[in-house]
A and B are shown apart, each in its own frame.
Chain A
Amino acid sequence: MKIVCRCYDITEEEIIETIKKYNITSLEELKRILNVGMGECQGRTCIPIIISIMSRILGKSPDDIEVPKPRPPAFTVRLGDFIGDEDAHK
Chain B
Amino acid sequence: MLISNEKYDVIIIGAGSIGLMTAYHFLKMGGKSVIVLEKGYLGCGSTGRCGGGIREQWGSPENIILAKKSIDIWEKLPKELEDDLEFHQGGYLILAFSEEEAETLKQNVHLQHKFGINSKILTPEEAKEIVPILNTSGIVLATYNKRDAKASPFRTLFALKKKIEEMGGKVLTHTEVIGFKVKGKEVKEVITTRGSLKANLVVNATGAWSKIIGKMLGENLPVEPYRHEIMVTERLSHLFDPMVISFSKGIYFQQMPRGEIIGGIGNPEEKPGFFIQPTSWFPYHFAKTLIEIAPALRHVRMLRHWTGYYEVTPDAKPIIDYSEVINNVIHATGFSGHGFMVSPMVGKIVAEMLLGKSPSIDIEPYSIRRFREGRIVRETGVVG
Binding site for B on A (CB under 8 A): 8, 21-23, 25-26, 28-29, 32-33, 35, 38-40, 42, 71-73, 76-80, 82-83, 85, 87-90
Contact = CB atoms under 8 A, between A and B. Distances in A.
Interface stretch (B207-215, B292-300, B326-334): B292-300
A49 to B, nearest CB: 20
Contacts of B155: 33
Given A25-B173, A71-B304, A73-B305, A79 B258 contact: no
A77 to B, nearest CB: 5
A76 B93 CA distance: 28
A78 B299 contact: yes
Interface string B279-318: 0000110111011000001111111111000000000000
B284 A39 contact: no
Most-contacted residue by chain B among A25, A79, A83 (CB, 10 A): A79
Given A21-B162, A32-B43, A79-B298, A40 B284 contact: no
B284 A71 contact: no
Interface of A is mostly: loop
A38 B304 contact: yes
A79 B305 contact: no
B42 A83 contact: no
A80 B234 contact: no
Nearest to A35: B258
18 contacts: A32-B48, A33-B155, A38-B232, A40-B234, A42-B303, A78-B299, A78-B301, A78-B302, A79-B290, A79-B302, A80-B291, A82-B284, A83-B287, A83-B288, A83-B291, A88-B298, A88-B299, A90-B299
B298 A78 contact: yes
Given A22-B161, A25-B173, A71-B304, A85 B258 contact: no
B24 interface: no
Interface in B4-53: 41-44, 48
B158 A22 contact: yes
A33 B306 contact: no
B135 interface: no
B305 A32 contact: no
Contacts of B367: none
A6 to B, nearest CB: 13
Given A28-B41, A33-B158, A85-B291, A71 B306 contact: yes
B263 to A, nearest CB: 10
A79 B299 CA distance: 6
A77 B305 CA distance: 11
B264 to A, nearest CB: 13
A79 B161 CA distance: 36
B78 interface: no
B195 interface: no
Contacts of B165: 23
B300 A78 contact: yes
Interface string B229-246: 000111000000000000
A7 to B, nearest CB: 9
B292 to A, nearest CB: 10
A82 B283 contact: yes
A29 B302 contact: no
Nearest to B43: A32
A76 B298 contact: no
Contacts of A23: 162, 165
B41 A79 contact: no
Q: Which 4 A-B pairs have the closest CB atoms?
A: A80-B298, A76-B301, A82-B287, A32-B154
Contacts of B44: 28
Interface string B152-166: 001100100110010
Contacts of B287: 79-80, 82-83
